[in-house]
Amino acid sequence: MCSTVTRLAKALAGLGPEPLSREFTVDGFVKAAASSRLPAKLFLMDQKRVAGLGNVYAAEALFRAGIHPARPMNRLSADRARVLYDAIRDVLREAVRSAKIAYNRPGKYTEAAEWPRAVYRREGETCLRCGARIRRIKQAGRSTYFCARCQR
């Protein structure tokens, strides 16, 4: 059993903090952002920087924060990085609440009713905030959805 625990500890050692944990601090996030030239979406998807943040949640957090997914993280002001930090946590908290409802009402629940996506998989549809068309680009082989008018 010790070897299993040791292997697990080694595997987890390379991961960044989980966004809803105490280890995910605004100061740590701002500092990591300032030192990275990665585009915002790729930074958020890098499990060594932020653990467990997937494609859907990264796109939605960037939309809420008004940050273009291709913008280099080190070009964000500390204030904009703080806004993104809060958006990440808000999106994940809402997703958790949505999942709780789904588990309590199996077969009688539509996730989008409780947690509507603003940009993810909405290419060509109108932005809920400004009315512009949602766009899709490829980043590291993954689709990234965003509003070019709201996200700069």
The pLDDT of residue 99 = 72
Per DSSP, the three-state class of 135 is: strand
The pLDDT of residue 1 = 55
The pLDDT of residue 22 = 96
What residue ranges of the chain have pLDDT lower than 70? 1-2, 102, 105-115
In this structure, the number of other CB atoms found within 10 A of the CB of residue 134 comes to 23
Per DSSP, the three-state class of 14 is: coil
The pLDDT of residue 12 = 73
The pLDDT of residue 150 = 98
Per DSSP, the three-state class of 124 is: coil
The pLDDT of residue 15 = 92
Residue with the two structure tokens 């500092």: 31
Burial class (CB in 10 A: 0-12, 13-18, 19+), 142: middle
Is the Cα torsion angle 144, 140, 94, 73 positive or negative in sign?
negative
Q: Delineate the domains of the chain, giving CATH numbers in brackets.
A: 17-146 (1.10.8.50)
The pLDDT of residue 113 = 54
Claim: this prediction has a pTM higher than 0.75: yes
